[in-house]
Structure 1
């Protein structure tokens, strides 16, 4: 009987130790939660104070900047209207006004190698621009957009913006239409979104019924495991087409 009582007493002592340990753990957790709650209260008060500062100080500063920019924009718009009026001058029109319109398209071929893991896919072609309107297209600009941007590299008879006049004239005299990048940071545009912005070397307008070609360009495609297709879209802009016109077709390659 004594041994049974001793065993019961031992188990009770063990349970008491366990419960005390659990109680101590709970008290510790409560202290941690109370500390975190206090920290969150302080953080909330800090953020509220910063928000009040932003509303009272920064908001007023931004309002002044916006008002100044709006005034500057209005001045630019007025100056632009005056400049356009001086350039165009008074015009008399009879019947429908002449309008510029373009038809652009890709003419291309694709060469797919036998071993894609060793060689590149090559696209060779021309980008053809035809003025299908009744007015000249001044300052034509072409945008060729490769998607995905890092899947391929475009090359052709394109002069760099910083190249000398002799190099540009030599390119223009090579028998094909010479082109040049219109941006100094053209490599950055290519890396960011795969866009190649180019324009003819000589700023001759495209007359109604005439064509302009970006001839014999090449696109070297680097096949990879996670990329299985490539598209190239073309757009034409000009003084009379500020919003641009998309090409009638696109280059599409799958492998």
Structure 2
């Protein structure tokens, strides 16, 4: 091989090596470029995913806000509806309660009337000495002494004159248990002289007159509307008794408040009113410590 050929071969080898190195270097750059591209693509994909996630999160937040607003509205509606229902229930309960109260009052009224009617029946059937005629000499009307039983009865009154010597007596009658035993259901007799002056008004009801519920509730006393009491009235006696069962212990008081007795001078020159109290069950009687007297 000549020198010229040897140089050409070495150059060829050198070039081959150069191109090999160049190709290897390019190959490395290609691999690096591919890796870079892949990495960039991943990053790009990650950025898109992040954007999608962000968008989804924003949408989720918006949905949550809508859910919260809807929940609040629902609660308000439920609260309003519940309030309306509660108000409706309260009105219904009040209506029922009012109706029950009315029924209870009616029942109380009927029970009072029944007791009063029973008392009237007992009064009509009794033949005890409590209903004996008062003797003119007051033999049976003087205070009676009985162990453990004692009472103080008296008038508190004023006389009011109108025109032509007419007017009325206005006052109260009191019964006080000054004994040691309990007293029950007093019968009070107001005796008028002259008999023509016999009249007594006030918070006293007559069961014959069919009193109203209000009258039954406000009244404590009733007239003894029976045949015996009518005959007693003809001789100048007005009898009353408690509307309900009445018990008062030692020291207790019972009163007939604000009674009125009308009068006129044409009946007689003077009018007197005495009072007697009988306790039928205890078989005890007493007389008022004072009386009413009017002189014209």
3-state SS of paired residue (1:227): coil
Q: State the TM-score, normalized to the length of structure 2.
A: 0.47
Whether the aligned pair in 1 keeps the contact of 2:206 and 2:225 (CA below 8 Å) is no
Question: Residues 179, 201 of structure 1: CA spacing in aligned structure 2 closer, same or farther, 3 A cutoff?
Answer: same
Q: CA deviation at 1:101?
A: 1.1
Residue pair 1:152, 1:220 contacting (<8 A) in 2 also: no
* More helix as a share of residues: 2
Is 1:103 aligned with 2:144?
Answer: no
Q: CA deviation at 1:211?
A: 0.7
Indicate conservation of the 8 Å contact 1:182/1:198, yes or no.
Answer: yes
Q: What is the CA distance between 1:162 and its match in structure 2?
A: 2.8
Among candidates 138, 142, 158, match of residue 184 of structure 2: 138
* Residue matched to 1:193: 235
TM-score, with length taken from structure 1: 0.54
- Structure 2 residue runs of 5 or longer lacking an equivalent are 1-127, 129-145
In structure 2, C-alpha distance between the alignment counterparts of 1:231 and 1:151, rounded to whole Å: 9
Q: Which sections of structure 1, spanning at least 5 residues, go unmatched?
A: 1-79, 81-96
Q: Does 1:171 align with 2:194?
A: no
CA 1:152/1:189 → structure 2, altered by over 3 Å: closer, same or farther?
A: closer
How far off is 1:151 after superposition? 2.7
3-state SS of 2:190 partner: strand
What SS does the corresponding residue of 2:214 show, helix, strand or coil? helix
Change (3 A) 1:162 1:152: closer
Matched pairs, number: 151
Does the alignment pair 1:254 with 2:295?
yes
**RMSD value over aligned CA atoms?**
2.4
2:247 pairs with one of 176, 187, 205 = 205
